[in-house]
A and B are shown apart, each in its own frame.
Chain A
Amino acid sequence: MKGKSIAESEYIEKSERKDEIENVNRKRRFSREEKGKGKLVVETDLESEDESLVDVSFSDVELPAEEVKSPDEKLSKRSNRRTSGGRMERFRDAARRNASRFAYFNTREEEEENNNNLSVEAEREIPSVEEHIEEKVVEDWPGPFSTAMKIIRDRTANLNVRQGSSSSDQVPSVQIKWVPQKGKGKDGSKRLPPSLLDLSLRVLVDNADAIASLDHVPDAMRHKLCQMLCDSRQMNSNLLDLLLSGSPTEIRLRECSWLTEDQFSECFVKCDTSNLTVLQLDYCGQCLADYNIPSTLARSLNSLPALTTLSLTGAYRLSDAGLSVLVSSAPALRSVNLSQCSFLTHGAIEILASSLASVLLELFINDCQSIDAMLMLPSLKKLERLKVLSVAGLESVTDKFIKEIITARGDGMKELILSGCGKLTDSSLKIIAETCSSLRSLDIGNVPKLTDNSLGYLASGCRSLELLKLCRNTFSDDAIGAFLEISGEVLKELALNNVGKVGHNTALSLARRSRNLVSLDLSWCRNLTDEAMGLIVDSCLSLRVLKLFGCTQITDVFLYGHSNAKVEIIGLKLSPLLEHI
């Protein structure tokens, strides 16, 4: 045990100066314990570390056991002398501030420090060590975010002082005043009658084989029908034939895994695609390959003249060459979704850039693991009108990539989806905030290295942000609260899915600011009480959808006590899950 504690104390010594006070405290404890022991190796270590602070008389350390007490006394005298020094006071405060960080081992933070060494090479402007960034935040912006943070922190601190609690984690930091209002709100037992449209659709789906024709049915109806048919696995090639008959304008199949290659060829060979504007064949891996494109979709160079939206997710047999054939037949493409097309490489982006550079507005390449972000960068920069970029799940997306593409195309960017890009750090968010002033929608879920600073950058930079999606992020309740204080008014959709630290500050800011919020996802936010939830729902008058998956702490007190009649609460009790995907 002794050996271990010495090793521990050595480790601590090797870290920065401000921990010295901690060392002193710890060692004092050791020496008291080890009164009977002869060797005072502990003292020697302290001496070797910093001579300026330790008196020379400390070298008398190798004393026989009887005189153990004296170094102890000397030590305490020295500490007493130190207390009067102003510098030590500062160190002590710094140690107090940082003690919690050293006492608690967080794998994520360690990972961050390891990986930050790599990002330092890429990003020299901002120091990568977490502490430096935190200090820099306070100095850099006398802006609204830091003011809001300060207000929230002071509010919490005052409450802690009053309640005498030392850890803000244990105490619900702010009081939420909300009482359930009986009888005013949505009566749990009263249900809205299903619409005639829904009823007819259900009957249609049940009798799908009997449908003889879909002529004259408007596209919106067709899409709804297809969606329900796909969801219930009743979609088949006969129905597809009906959809493709005539000269269809929009085909949306969100699930084509039932479609075989032969069926695909048969159906599309005779389809008149001259008026097709939207083609969505999601999960088409089984039916779509390089060799059947020329005979079906790309029959001639101008076979898809009106096509503006193309979605071929999950086409795992589609190669760059196959895409090239397709793109050459569709010169007017504005939105391309090639997510989960695992065969495509950066060559695919080159192909898109060479023919669609001046027209392409939206590009989705989620989970295309063979596309290397840095290799596709030159081609990506050529897309002059890019407004929507989705690179979710791409491991090769780094801070350097973001810096380059945002510097080139950030001005016009309206929507960025970066969920699952685990290598990104705060520096990317800084650049996004500084450049993308017209950003409407941002998804940074599952990017664990982002700290509260990112929210600060977003609050000061992206003033038009209407949609923000967070998931499993490590932002603090204070920071989210402060962000909402500033940016909450404009927000229409907010997801805080599994952002564990969400608590009362977030709830208060939501209630105060988010008057335009329509959709809110607070799934897995276990720190929110019935009162907090009630306050949010009763104050956010535009709220229509509230997702509460995993919030088992929410009870009927909230469910039957809130007074917002228009909000639909999903995820508690038994809501049909698939409807909301």
Chain B
Amino acid sequence: MKKVDTVKLISAEGMEFVIDKEAAMVSQTIRNMLTSPGGFAEAEHGEVTFPEISAVILEKICQYFYWSLQYSRGKETEFHIEPELTLELMMAANYLHT
């Protein structure tokens, strides 16, 4: 896996999640950050920090990215969400436009 094809998402606690760029682009917000010609620091280093999103939620979000790619390729499964995460997840999803 080439380094340029991945991005690093950093949670509030500092935990880092390295995922495929294609997966990260499921989020419209991340897509804009990485592709906009404005010269975002994120685009240059391939890293995005989310000080408001906790590690547990960020992990779930990464899982959603991969599930979403799988779904559009035809494999339609169910994405399970633990009820206790839902509220925070919803707000993070709203922020990430995903």
Contact = CB atoms under 8 A, between A and B. Distances in A.
B54 interface: no
Contacts of B72: 190, 192-193
Interface string A164-199: 000000000000000000000000001111011101
B83 interface: yes
Interface stretch (A72-80, A213-221, A263-271, A393-401): A213-221
Given A196-B61, A200-B89, A204-B87, A221 B94 contact: yes
Contacts of B40: none
Given A195-B93, A218-B94, A200 B74 contact: no
A162 B90 CA distance: 63
Contacts of B96: 196
B37 to A, nearest CB: 24
Interface residues of A, number: 20
Interface string A288-317: 000000000000000000000000000000
A201 interface: yes
Contacts of A207: 83, 86
Interface stretch (B1-9, B16-24, B42-50, B63-71): B63-71
Contact of B90 (A190, A193, A204): A204
Which range contains the number of B residues in contact with the other chain? 20 to 34
B94 A204 contact: no
Nearest to B81: A203
A197 B67 CA distance: 14
A470 B85 CA distance: 45
Contact of A197 (B68, B76, B87, B93): B93
A559 B38 CA distance: 40
A53 interface: no
A99 interface: no
B91 interface: yes
A210 interface: yes
Contacts of B61: 196
A192 B91 CA distance: 21
B74 A190 contact: yes
Contacts of B86: 200, 203-204, 207
A221 B87 CA distance: 10
Most B CB atoms within 10 A — which of A195, A201, A216?
A: A195
B81 A197 contact: no
Contacts of B93: 195-197, 200
B91 A217 contact: yes
Given A191-B76, A218-B94, A220-B94, A196 B64 contact: yes
Interface string A410-442: 000000000000000000000000000000000
Contact of B94 (A197, A203, A216): A197
A459 B90 CA distance: 46
B71 A193 contact: yes
Nearest to A212: B87
A200 B81 contact: yes
Given A200-B81, A203-B83, A204-B87, A195 B67 contact: no
Nearest to A205: B86
A211 interface: yes
Given A199-B81, A203-B86, 4 more contacts: A192-B72, A193-B71, A197-B90, A207-B83
Interface of A: 190-193, 195-197, 199-201, 203-204, 207, 210-211, 216-218, 220-221
